[in-house]
Amino acid sequence: MEEVEVAPPQKHEVRIKILFTSLCHTDVYFWEAKGQTPLFPRIFGHEAGGIVESVGEGVTDLQPGDHVLPIFTGECGDCPHCHSEESNMCDLLRINTERGGMIHDGESRFSINGKPIHHFLGTSTFSEYTVVHSGQVAKINPDAPLDKVCIVSCGLSTGLGATLNVAKPKKGQSVAIFGLGAVGLAAAEGARIAGASRIIGVDLNPSRFDQAKKFGVTEFVNPKDHDKPVQQVIAEMTNGGVDRSVECTGSVQAMIQAFECVHDGWGVAVLVGVPSKDDAFKSHPMNFLNERTLKGTFFGNYKPKTDIPGVVEKYMNKELELEKFITHTVPFSEINKAFDYMLKGESIRCIITMGA
């Protein structure tokens, strides 16, 4: 734990007092320096909730006291992506894992004795105060409990939106979810909300199956239990294939399985998991010609500022359940425990309480 200085927000920036943050696997991945060019020292963290403390020049849609979720990707409102109803991949503010400073001037707002500390994903929420571009800040209902809705700012929305916004299962349809980590469970929650009749969870870890029942998963397939391809197993279980599938592992093998397990004529498969950089997969073109669809998604196709407040409202209206995603809570001083829980696979989400 270090004391850092957090500079005032510059043009189009806000300074936020973080009240609750949670650990996402992406933080662990970059902390282990498995990502692209590692930057250190760096303040990680990108799933959080807090209150605006001050705003920089040109910020008109946020003011001190607003309850907000900082988000790892943004919405400038001006680029072709932001003007498109179909895209959330803002040209200015889309996720950038390499950038260690702010867009406005390339400088960091964090320092120790005058030495800069790098930012992470433009959010750096493992700090009591942080500075974020206003296009990466979603203003939410002040009545929403920040210790619950903070998880909406990353993994939950990624999985939920992959199902609700991209796969779009109809009521009564069947859905297969590949990978039952936090994102996969959020995808299952989306299928539950959509009224899917069967939600088939696919995972190599059988200990995840029991937990997944709370998220609407009705059946489980462990590829290790079968001597035939998992797409064949699912096709046999579902009379020709599932109506929708959502892949949340990043494994190329699972991507092929997720695509090939959907029903011909109308099946839709959605890829969410991030592959390794040299990955490629192949599938016979007949799988497409037989009217299967393969789609990809980023952050559940949600626009951060426009759509994320609505996801919070789904929770407020009791349509979306968040409590079951939160398995642990630790004070900020014990943040290392959150890393331990995740590395051991014991947690779905661990909330880190900043004031404690």
Q: Which residues are designated catalytic?
A: 24-26, 46-47, 76, 79, 82, 90, 94, 154, 349
221: closest CA among 236, 207, 202? 202
Going by their DSSP bridges, the two strands 198-202 and 174-178 should be labelled as: parallel
CA distances from 222 to 69, 183, 230 (A): 36, 18, 8
Output the six-digit token pair for 322: 């968040």
**Three-state DSSP class for residue 171:** coil
156: closest CA among 123, 188, 182, 193? 182
Gap between the Cα atoms of 116 and 37, Å rounded: 18
Q: What angle do CA 81, 271, 48 make, to 5 degrees?
A: 65
Gap between the Cα atoms of 247 and 200, Å rounded: 12
Going by their DSSP bridges, the two strands 47-55 and 13-22 should be labelled as: antiparallel
**Three-state DSSP class for residue 130:** strand
Gap between the Cα atoms of 172 and 102, Å rounded: 46
